[in-house]
Amino acid sequence: MATTSTNRGAPARSWLGQWNSNVSSYYLLVGVTGLLTVIGLIMVLSSSTVTSIAADESPYAAFLVQAQYALMGLPVLLIAAHLPVRWYKRLALPGLAIALVLLVAVIFMGEVTNGQQNWLVFGPVRFQPSELAKLALAIWLGTVLGRKQALLGSWSHAILPAAPGAVLVLGLVLAGGDLGTALVMGLLVAGAFFVSGVPMSLMTLGGVLAAFVVGYVFILQQDGGDRLQRIIATYGAECDAASDCYQSLHGLFGLGTGGLWGVGLGGSREKWNYLPEAHNDFIFAVIGEELGLFGTVLVLALFAVLGLAMSRVIRRHADPFVKVTTAAVGCWIVGQAFVNIGVVIGVLPVIGVPLPLVSAGGSALITTMAALGMVISFARTEPGAAKALAARGSVVRKSLAVLGGAVRRR
pLDDT tens across 153-185, in order?
677 767 888 899 999 999 999 888 888 899 999
Please tell me the total count of domains within the chain.
1
Q: Which helix (H) or strand (E) holds 120?
A: strand 116-122
Lowest mean pLDDT among 185-199, 203-217, 269-283, 341-355: 203-217
Q: Does 114 fall in a domain?
A: yes
Lowest mean pLDDT among 84-98, 210-224, 255-269, 282-296: 210-224
288 near 254, Cβ under 8 Å? yes
The strand pairing partners of 112, in sequence order, are 117
Q: Does 209 fall in a domain?
A: yes
Question: What is the C-alpha separation between 271 and 268, in angstroms, rounded?
Answer: 6
Question: What is the C-alpha separation between 372 and 33, in angstroms, rounded?
Answer: 8
Most confident of 1-15, 229-243, 261-275: 261-275
pLDDT in tens, 57-81: 999 999 999 999 999 999 999 999 9
Lowest mean pLDDT among 2-6, 63-67, 307-311, 338-342: 2-6
Q: Does 1 fall in a domain?
A: no
Of the pLDDT bands very low, low, confident and very high (cuts 50, 70, 90), residue 126 is confident
Q: Does 312 fall in a domain?
A: yes
Count Cβ atoms below 10 Å from residue 96 Cβ, excluding itself: 22
Q: Does 152 fall in a domain?
A: yes
Q: For all residues of the chain together, what is the average pLDDT?
A: 85
163 near 123, Cβ under 8 Å? no
Q: Tell me what percent of the chain is helix, strand and coil, each rounded to the nearest 5.
A: 75, 5, 25
Question: What is the C-alpha separation between 10 and 13, in angstroms, rounded?
Answer: 5
pLDDT higher than 90, residue 122: no
Most confident of 86-90, 214-218, 239-243, 404-408: 86-90
- What is the CB-side half-sphere exposure of residue 212 using CA atoms within 13 A? 6
Q: Does 144 fall in a domain?
A: yes
Determine the structural domain holding residue 177 and report its residue range: 50-55+88-355
317 near 26, Cβ under 8 Å? no
Q: Does 33 fall in a domain?
A: no
Integer-rounded Cα radius of gyration of the chain: 23
